[in-house]
């Protein structure tokens, strides 16, 4: 896995290479269709060098060289016209004129195109699916929840509203939220994953790096890394790994804690990951079907107490939303 910034710079590099190859192919085509162009090219090259020398030496023969270049330019355009090719056929082209696809403008500042590409890769690196990308606070559908109190005496709609408000306030204040982490608890289909997506999307919109993964896959990944099974050859050779990204992401979303294949190793690795993120002051959102009692039974005392001490808990209960959706 590569960081969003290095993926963005790599894409800019590919753009430059593509334009360079296009220009080379266009030039070769003109040279073969109009052999006299080769001479004009050589003249232009020499004249360009002379012009530079002239500027460096106080402008001697500047006008003469300039008009020579202009004459060559018109000859070049005449050739292109004759070949029915566009006038800019032999010009260097860029996807972004502002930075000429370097990612930085003339003042050395990050160009908008680089910023946009970086967010594109932050989005891709987040591992959130297209479906999850549509699960936003704005799209939250309260009509799925009944306003009628259930057997517990509480209306699912009230519970959903309260959970929504807490999750929204957490996501709005991600940088300063205390505690830094959130545990979304509830039965399957009560909207936990939906709310985690809402938080993830809001964070992405604000330029945060996010990583989403199910607890099952996350533990599998940690297990694989332990046995030296990396996702790409670059990772194998000591490059930046998905686990590095997971450790560094501003927000980590672990879905469905309790569904992982729990071994002594994964339990310890999970604790290390959550603990490291707490120490680094990074935000983590966990969703789970497990009750606190079940968590205490399943995980070590220290993992459970770390979660209880450092996580804000949002309890979601109510009917299975998927019954309404499908």
Q: Does 205 bind Zn ion (CB under 5 A)?
A: no
CA distance 93 to 23: 8
Query: By rule CB under 5 A, what string of x and - marks binding of each residue 65-84 to Zn ion?
Result: --------------------
Nearest distance from residue 98's CB to Zn ion, in Å? 5
Q: How many residues bind Zn ion (CB under 5 A)?
A: 5
Nearer of residues 98 and 169 to Zn ion, judged by Cβ: 98
Query: What number of helices (H) and strands (E) belong to the chain?
Result: 14, 5
Nearest distance from residue 103's CB to Zn ion, in Å? 6
Nearer of residues 30 and 111 to Zn ion, judged by Cβ: 111
CA distance 222 to 263: 11
Nearest distance from residue 113's CB to Zn ion, in Å? 3
Reply yes or no: is the peptide bond before residue 6 cis, omega within 30 of 0.
no
Q: Does 12 bind Zn ion (CB under 5 A)?
A: no
Q: Does 96 bind Zn ion (CB under 5 A)?
A: yes
Cα dist from 282 to 59, 200, 227, 251, whole Å: 60, 14, 27, 6
Of positions 10, 32, 67, 98, contacts Zn ion by CB under 5 A: 98
Nearest distance from residue 18's CB to Zn ion, in Å? 15
The dihedral sign for the CA sequence 228, 229, 233, 234 = negative
Side by side, the strands of the sheet bearing 311-316 are 210-214, 251-257, 283-288, 181-186, 311-316
Q: Does 99 bind Zn ion (CB under 5 A)?
A: yes
Span of 80-88, 103-111, 187-195, 251-259 interacting with Zn ion by CB under 5 A: 103-111
Q: Who's near 241: CB < 8 A, 6+ residues apart?
A: 1, 225, 230, 231, 235
Span of 18-26, 111-119, 141-149, 298-306 interacting with Zn ion by CB under 5 A: 111-119
Identify the helix (H) or strand (E) that includes residue 168: helix 156-172
Applying the rule CB under 5 A, the residues between 261 and 290 that interact with Zn ion are none
Nearer of residues 96 and 285 to Zn ion, judged by Cβ: 96
Of positions 40, 111, 159, 184, contacts Zn ion by CB under 5 A: 111
Q: Both tokens of residue 267?
A: 């339990």
Q: Does 254 bind Zn ion (CB under 5 A)?
A: no
Nearest distance from residue 125's CB to Zn ion, in Å? 21
Determine the distance from the C-alpha atom of residue 106 to the mean position of all C-alpha atoms in its chain, rounded to a whole number.
Answer: 26
Q: Does 113 bind Zn ion (CB under 5 A)?
A: yes
Nearest distance from residue 118's CB to Zn ion, in Å? 12
Assess contact for 76 and 90: CB atoms under 8 A. yes
Which residues sit at the interface with Zn ion, rule CB under 5 A? 96, 98-99, 111, 113
């Amino acid at each position: 896995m590569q960081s969003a910034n290095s993926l963005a710079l790599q894409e800019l590099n590919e753009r430059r290479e593509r334009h360079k190859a296009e220009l080379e192919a266009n030039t070769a085509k003109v040279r073969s269709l109009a052999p006299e162009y080769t001479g004009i090219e050589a003249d232009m090259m020499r004249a360009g060098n002379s012009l530079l020398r002239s500027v460096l030496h106080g402008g001697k023969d500047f006008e003469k060289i300039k008009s020579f270049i202009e004459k060559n330019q018109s000859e070049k355009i005449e050739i292109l016209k004759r070949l029915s090719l566009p006038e800019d056929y032999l010009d260097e082209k860029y996807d972004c004129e502002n930075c000429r696809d370097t990612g930085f403008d003339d003042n050395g500042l990050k160009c908008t195109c680089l910023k946009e590409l970086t967010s594109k890769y932050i989005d891709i690196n987040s591992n959130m699916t297209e479906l999850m990308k549509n699960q936003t606070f704005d799209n939250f559908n309260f009509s799925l929840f009944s306003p009628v109190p259930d057997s517990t005496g509480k209306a699912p709609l009230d519970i959903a509203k309260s959970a929504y408000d807490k999750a929204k306030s957490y996501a709005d204040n991600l940088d300063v939220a205390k505690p830094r982490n959130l545990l979304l608890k509830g039965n399957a289909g009560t909207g936990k994953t939906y709310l985690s997506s809402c938080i993830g999307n809001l964070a992405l919109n604000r330029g945060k790096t996010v990583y989403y993964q199910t607890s099952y896959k996350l533990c599998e990944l940690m297990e694989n890394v332990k046995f030296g099974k990396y996702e790409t050859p670059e990772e194998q050779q000591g490059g930046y790994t998905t686990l590095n990204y997971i450790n560094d992401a501003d927000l980590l979303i672990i879905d469905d804690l309790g569904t992982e294949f729990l071994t002594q190793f994964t339990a310890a690795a999970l604790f290390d990951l959550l603990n490291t993120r707490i120490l680094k002051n990074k935000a983590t959102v966990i969703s789970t079907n497990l009750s606190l009692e079940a968590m205490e039974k399943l995980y070590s005392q220290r993992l459970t107490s770390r979660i209880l001490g450092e996580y804000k808990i949002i309890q979601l209960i109510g009917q299975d939303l998927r019954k309404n959706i499908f």
